[in-house]
Structure 1
């Protein structure tokens, strides 16, 4: 772990094996981003027709109250999907947030960009004090500037990839509250171990900062529970490496959504997400990164339908909670394919 890292240090000064010429690199080569490709994808977004990219009906969300959270036992690990890749955990009585995004749009602009299909099941104001906020990378659908600023007063620690600490300090977060990680670095705090592990992705929040900060996934292990949170990734051999080093996992929270042939090496198809779960030696899989924002060209329900089919074919146990539902590791959970009743109503 790199603790209290100085945020003014430029990325090219980090002592990281994954840094070349001031920009972080994946472990395996991916198709380089070019202006031509970016313009071609942008043209697709403006011209290509979409079918059911957004739901026709109100999606089910279980409103969650502070009292309900406090009533959960202070032992074990409880998981609440808030929407997209945002997850609330209660870990041995302490509250953690993973990639908390509460803004109306996953965009640098308040008036343009992908807007939410549903509201979060609990507001930022009603959240209890947060022990840790974990960030996987700095894309707008994973790092929400306004949420981070509002969480500052009630959060003890922010755990981020190398380089992201600079953003947080510019937003008013005290340097001593931030812990920046390179891949495979660990922190043990209050008998809970976290490790920052590789993914195959990229970073950037503007036109000139591509890959200036690192990206990755998080491993969380208590004395009796283990959890993996994927962030964003294409399918790559690193999942097996993580599984061998830290698995098996009671639960894997795996990116399943926003995939397309034009960016196949940095986002997985649902079938690849299930394979990643198997590589990680996961027991139960929760598909995340779906059902909240329109970020690709597939229908809003395609990730859920395809991951359910792939899981059944591979014998993988799947949990697909609605936002606000509570899952407790090592306790029975009745899974429901909640989206299928909505599709039946509109004849799909």
Structure 2
């Protein structure tokens, strides 16, 4: 009973925080001029009935009464430690990614290191003592990370934007690439203005030979009771821009002109994925949200079937399912997204990659697809 009460407190705090639309007066010029911003908040491209306080009683009733199966693994999740020796041995002319857990990734590209939605805290929660707790530790500590060229943020939910990790990383990160409005949060946390680059949908920048484009998703934002949808949300297209430089291409024949990654962030399935594919695709690797879906929030998270379709829509070659395996954020069994997406990929001839936490993934070479989650609840 105590555990259910704690869960209820967290659910109430987090869901109310991300769904309440009481907005502050801090409206910077770029934000208010965004096509996505009106009446004090950001909006999706298509209107839908989002989660609201009127839906809370039914959702909370489910948390109390619904019988759940395999909420977390009974055995330790396999993990490969990331060492400085492993990082130093990686090729500089090819992109390599490491899954750190949930939707957090370490990327090496053009000899530089990048972090995607880095969450290192024990809980994805506004509280340090209650809330969704990690199933496993990160495969590398913040202290052991090399110098980071940049941190890429998709939106400000607690399982994607970690305040304590941001503060710990600030002294070893050159810049933070964030959605509109999130920069104000980082400033409040003590990050220097010179380190922050904010993006609206379809805006791009090139840093160290890599082009980053912030693209739409269908989601929402918020971290407390007074900031619902005050900051933008989105996905990222990450491409090696050196292929567009004719001089570099002539001087270095080893440059691969098709190195690209699409990171979906969080999203419900929507027509925007096809537009992303048309404007920014194809992609060698897609990192697609595949988890934390439910019938009570179908517009803001995808089922595995929709995740697979999103991968196809953006023109992905290989698919790496994310947003699973680290935190309990929905009603399904913790391994269900991985089981379902594996079967769907096999039936649709999609090249699926399911690395263990900490395993390097070279986006241009073949990769084993091991069902590492099997047997962990026996």
Shorter chain as normaliser: what TM range?
over 0.9
The one-character-per-residue Cα deviations of 1:18-69 (angstroms, maximum 9, x if unpaired) are 1110100001112133212133323322332210010111110111112211
Q: Which residue number corresponds to residue 291 of structure 2?
A: 257
In the alignment, which of 118, 130, 137 is matched to residue 112 of structure 1?
130
Which residues of 2 match residues 138-217 of structure 1 at below 5 A?
A: 138-217=156-235
8 Å CA contact retained: 1:12, 1:21: no
SS at match of 2:108: strand
In the alignment, which of 26, 30, 45 is matched to residue 44 of structure 2?
26
Q: Which residue number corresponds to residue 3 of structure 1?
A: none
SS at match of 1:252: strand
8 Å CA contact retained: 1:11, 1:213: no
Query: d(CA) in 2 for partners of 1:239 and 1:32?
Result: 20
Query: d(CA) in 1 for partners of 2:345 and 2:168?
Result: 38
Moved more, 133-142 or 57-66: 57-66
56 and 22 in structure 1: CA distance in 2 versus 1, 3 angstrom threshold: same
SS at match of 2:273: helix
117 and 173 in structure 1: CA distance in 2 versus 1, 3 angstrom threshold: same
In the alignment, which of 275, 283, 293 is matched to residue 309 of structure 2?
275
Structure 1 stretches of 4+ moved >6 Å: none
TM-score under structure 1 length normalisation: 0.94
153 and 200 in structure 1: CA distance in 2 versus 1, 3 angstrom threshold: same
Deviation at 1:10, TM superposition (A): 4.2
8 Å CA contact retained: 1:11, 1:23: no
Q: Which residue number corresponds to residue 14 of structure 1?
A: 32
TM-score under structure 2 length normalisation: 0.87
In the alignment, which of 279, 290, 312 is matched to residue 324 of structure 2?
290
SS at match of 1:342: coil
Moved more, 25-34 or 148-157: 25-34
Q: Which residue number corresponds to residue 218 of structure 1?
A: 236
Q: CA RMSD in A?
A: 1.5
Pair 1:304-2:322 in alignment: no
Q: Which residue number corresponds to residue 315 of structure 1?
A: 349
11 and 304 in structure 1: CA distance in 2 versus 1, 3 angstrom threshold: farther
Deviation at 1:220, TM superposition (A): 0.3
8 Å CA contact retained: 2:31, 2:180: no
Query: d(CA) in 2 for partners of 1:298 and 1:68?
Result: 35
Q: Which residue number corresponds to residue 4 of structure 1?
A: none
Pair 1:338-2:372 in alignment: yes
11 and 23 in structure 1: CA distance in 2 versus 1, 3 angstrom threshold: farther
Which residues of 2 match residues 71-150 of structure 1 at below 5 A?
A: 71-150=89-168
The one-character-per-residue Cα deviations of 1:273-325 (angstroms, maximum 9, x if unpaired) are 00000001100000000000000000011000000111112111100001100
53 and 119 in structure 1: CA distance in 2 versus 1, 3 angstrom threshold: same
Instruction: Structure 2: state its 5+ residue gaps.
Output: 1-25, 244-256
Q: Which residue number corresponds to residue 270 of structure 2?
A: 236
Deviation at 1:9, TM superposition (A): 4.2
Query: d(CA) in 2 for partners of 1:279 and 1:109?
Result: 37
Query: d(CA) in 2 for partners of 1:57 and 1:340?
Result: 10
8 Å CA contact retained: 1:84, 1:293: yes
Flag the structure with larger Rg. Answer: 2
Query: d(CA) in 1 for partners of 2:262 and 2:272?
Result: 13
Query: d(CA) in 1 for partners of 2:80 and 2:344?
Result: 27
Moved more, 56-65 or 285-294: 56-65
SS at match of 2:129: coil
SS at match of 1:340: coil
Question: In the comparison of the two structures, how many residue pairs are matched?
Answer: 338
